[in-house]
Amino acid sequence: MKNPNGPYPGRQLFLGLTPDNQPCLAYLVTGRSPASRERIAVAIENGVRIGPAGGAVYDQLRHYSALKYDNSSGVLAVSNGIQTEAIFETYKLVHDTGNQPGKDYLEKILDGAGAEPDPPINTPRIGGIATQTQPGKPVLIIGIKTFGKAARAWELQPAAGKMTGIAVYRGELETPRGTDPDSTPPKLALNGNTARYLAELLFDISAASYKGADIRVCAVGGVRKANRTWEVFIKNILTA
């Protein structure tokens, strides 16, 4: 199996259900340049942060909170940048007030964040949310904001053993281009039920090299248990 977005997805997220019907996620970071590869994923309180490795200097586009979750409500947000906190806080409020967690909230947040200011690519911003309206009824939403176009989000139709994802790039190693928001989000079939399985699956199917270097930086897997707590596993190439 190969990454369905091609050899260079940039940053990529998937949401879905494990074969035993638990909400789950997988998040991938790749990089072509040495600076992009000098990163690690680090567990923080109720989340995961993508930070510098090997003495690299902090950069607001490369280093960010990628994952934030709440073990009381089970709400989880994942993204490739500064929008993670806004996504989480918005949908946590929607959950706590008993309102419907529609995709329009995610679209507004992504539109507000805008594409990354890194011309000429103008890397898209992606995001996802896992929440619920009632026990046993997960709500999974993914979205993307590309340069010059309105943000687009999809409320997924969860099925056991399936994940649906979005990546910032279309997959070309030599000439990265932002993912077309009108394209159909790819899917992954799952055979395992653990956070470790999810992280290692996405990491393994994304093996690719650019100018002799492995482009993979890290992968994160997560599974929400029946008690709404999140099990998270991180796989890094580098260490701090």
pLDDT for the residue numbered 40: 97
pLDDT tens profile 59-69: 888 999 999 99
Instruction: Give the residue numbers spanning the domain of 110.
Output: 11-236
CATH classification at residue 95: 3.60.20.20
What pLDDT band is residue 93 in, cutting at 50, 70 and 90? very high
Query: At a CB cut-off of 8 Å and minimum separation 6, what does 126 contact?
Result: 11, 12, 13, 79, 80, 110, 142, 143, 144, 145, 166, 167, 168
Model-level pTM greater than 0.85?
yes
Q: Is residue 3 part of a domain?
A: no
Q: Is residue 4 part of a domain?
A: no
Q: Is residue 227 part of a domain?
A: yes
Q: How many domains would you assign to the chain?
A: 1
What is the average per-residue pLDDT within 98-119?
96
Q: Is residue 6 part of a domain?
A: no
In this model, does residue 186 exceed pLDDT 80?
A: yes
Q: Is residue 30 part of a domain?
A: yes
In this model, does residue 135 exceed pLDDT 80?
A: no
Q: Is residue 210 part of a domain?
A: yes
Q: Is residue 134 part of a domain?
A: yes
pLDDT tens profile 189-233: 999 999 999 999 999 999 999 999 999 999 999 999 999 999 999
Q: Is residue 86 part of a domain?
A: yes
pLDDT for the residue numbered 132: 92
In this model, does residue 6 exceed pLDDT 90?
A: yes
pLDDT tens profile 27-77: 999 999 999 999 999 999 999 999 999 878 888 889 999 999 999 999 999
